[in-house]
Amino acid sequence: MGDAANLQPEDLLRSTERVTDLNVVPTPGHSEDMFSEPHEFVRLRQHPGPVPVVTMAGHRAWLFVRHADVKAICADRRIGRSHANPEGAPRLWSAALMHARPGPANEMVDHERWRAVFGPTFSARSIELRERQVRARLDELLDDVVKRGTTADLSSELARPFALAVISDVIGLPLADRPLFAAWSDEMRHLRRREAAMATSAVVSERLDQLLDHKRQHSCDDLLSQVGTLAAQGAPLTRLQLIDGLKSIFLAGFDTVASRMEYGILYLFASSAGAASAVPEASKMPLMVEELIRTVVPGGSWIPRYALADVEYGATRIRRGDLVVLALQGANRDPAVFDEADTFRPDRSPNPHLGFGYGKFYCLGASLARLQLRIFFPTLFARLPGMALSPDCDPEVDIDSATGGLSRLMVTWSGSRYPQQ
């Protein structure tokens, strides 16, 4: 790999950072630390240019931490997601997410076609039309939660089922498949079980393939039906690319949203104003959602990329095929861009965070994620009056997951209200 190639392994260990050591999530049990950035990022931002690192998979990579650098890399067409040898490419982690794609000859053309096929379903206009359905999903789940008593695990009983229902509705997953897809997603995100993760990824592809055939006979208003029709009519993408696209959308659209809901609750409870008062009025919710996306970074928010050509960044030469890792967490707390970068300010504006990425790979589901988060917090506090973290609340961080999140978040409340019509 580029300039780091001359280093001996022992030098490398001394002179590079280990991404594992940097993978610091806020410690939910210690609310005074929740908003602080890991010191490593503060230090790494002083370092000019990319930092040579060893990834969680034990491979060498170049890490970018500053806001300006991360943005520049996102906009750079010489840095992409494909590799001439995907199986042998350096990896960020063992999870079956965001691994190298075959290429790089057609990467950008294929990607533009991919966005053209899947983009319209997730446009701001299409997502607006789903608001009623999304609200109904949350209300149904809250109805069940209040029927069960006055205490609940917000992670397993609300945030995850809500995010699962919404993305499954959009894709058109049958009800019986949804718990299976949720379990498959957990397996694919696992940081230390590579073979199981890859085997599960193949199972998911097989099931999506079957569902595409099924939807051709039973077409309805969902993404699987649209993609099934396209596949039959000769889409600009291969069937494999279409299936991979559906898989990415499910994986990218499930835990990402659930984990922001979970951490968002912790952030609100850490507010000195009190959690319920910290939820702003409806017109200000979009600002709070952006601030959550900026500050909440379960799992560190690492984005892997590959150099598609030899590239020079300042004094550093990055060679074709090298792994490049973008630390969104570092970029979103960069004091060169954000005043009081460690402070959660629900009314921050402007807020040029990179939490949904930037440029050609900008999050396809940003409008859907924003809609869910905008609805989730006010509805929750309105329907569960007096909600508080359970006295024995000890939120557990899912440290084995590439996307982070909490595996438990117990709350109690004093009464319940019906949904507002």
Among 53, 89, 191, 368, binds ligand HEM (CB under 6 A): 368
Q: What 8-state DSSP symbol labels residue 401?
A: B
Give the interface segment with ligand HEM, choosing from 27-35, 124-132, 355-363, 404-412 (CB under 6 A).
355-363
25 binds ligand HEM (CB under 6 A): no
d(Cα 260, Cα 145) in Å, to the nearest integer?
Answer: 20
Give the interface segment with ligand HEM, choosing from 132-140, 148-156, 266-274, 359-367 (CB under 6 A).
359-367
Q: Copy the structure tokens of residue 287.
A: 């600002």
Give the interface segment with ligand HEM, choosing from 151-159, 335-343, 358-366, 407-415 (CB under 6 A).
358-366
Give the interface segment with ligand HEM, choosing from 47-55, 191-199, 223-231, 244-252 (CB under 6 A).
244-252
Q: Copy the structure tokens of residue 133.
A: 């359905």
Cis peptide before 378, with omega less than 30 degrees from 0? no
253 binds ligand HEM (CB under 6 A): yes
327 binds ligand HEM (CB under 6 A): no
Closest approach of ligand HEM to the CB of residue 81, in Å: 7
Report helix angle 239-269 to 178-189, nearest 10.
80
Q: For 99-194, where are the E strands, in sequence order?
A: 101-102, 151-153
Residues 254-283 contacting ligand HEM, CB under 6 A: 256-257, 260
Binding track, positions 107-126, relative to ligand HEM; x by CB under 6 A: --------x------x----
Closest approach of ligand HEM to the CB of residue 137, in Å: 13
d(Cα 274, Cα 340) in Å, to the nearest integer?
Answer: 21
249 binds ligand HEM (CB under 6 A): yes
Neighbour tally for 378: CB within 10 Å: 17
Largest CA distance in the chain: 66
363 binds ligand HEM (CB under 6 A): yes
- Are 291 and 263 spatial neighbours (Cβ–Cβ below 8 Å)? no
404 binds ligand HEM (CB under 6 A): no
356 binds ligand HEM (CB under 6 A): yes
d(Cα 349, Cα 219) in Å, to the nearest integer?
Answer: 43
d(Cα 272, Cα 35) in Å, to the nearest integer?
Answer: 13
Closest approach of ligand HEM to the CB of residue 386, in Å: 28
